[in-house]
């Protein structure tokens, strides 16, 4: 199940997973696993990502409806 939209939002904002990894101090492998929805970041990390991309945290999540 695709829970997050991190990959889509990065493309929309013209950012790369490498950029996000550098900003968060995480490995590119970790970011890749988030982008493929293999694992999910914590809510705190979702908030950090939203702040870095200057978006509402809701934009990073797929609707449950």
Sequence spans of domains, the chain: 6-56
CATH topology of domain 6-56: 434 Repressor (Amino-terminal Domain) (1.10.260)
Residue 61 phi, psi (nearest 5): -115, 140
- What is the band of 1 on the pLDDT scale with cuts at 50, 70, 90? confident
Q: Is the pTM above the cut of 0.95?
A: no
> Phi/psi zone of residue 54: left (φ > 0), alpha (ψ -120 to 50 degrees), beta?
left
pLDDT recorded at residue 65? 81
In tens, the pLDDT along 7-51 reads 999 999 999 999 999 999 999 999 999 999 999 999 999 999 999
Structural contact between residues 4 and 61, judged by C-beta atoms closer than 8 angstroms: yes
- What is the band of 53 on the pLDDT scale with cuts at 50, 70, 90? very high
């Amino acid at each position: 199940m695709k829970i997050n939209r991190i990959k889509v939002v990065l493309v929309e904002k013209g950012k790369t997973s490498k950029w996000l990894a550098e900003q968060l101090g995480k490995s590119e492998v970790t970011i890749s696993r988030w982008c493929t929805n293999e694992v999910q970041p914590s809510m705190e990390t979702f908030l950090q990502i939203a702040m870095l991309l200057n978006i509402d945290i809701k934009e990073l999540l797929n609707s449950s409806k």
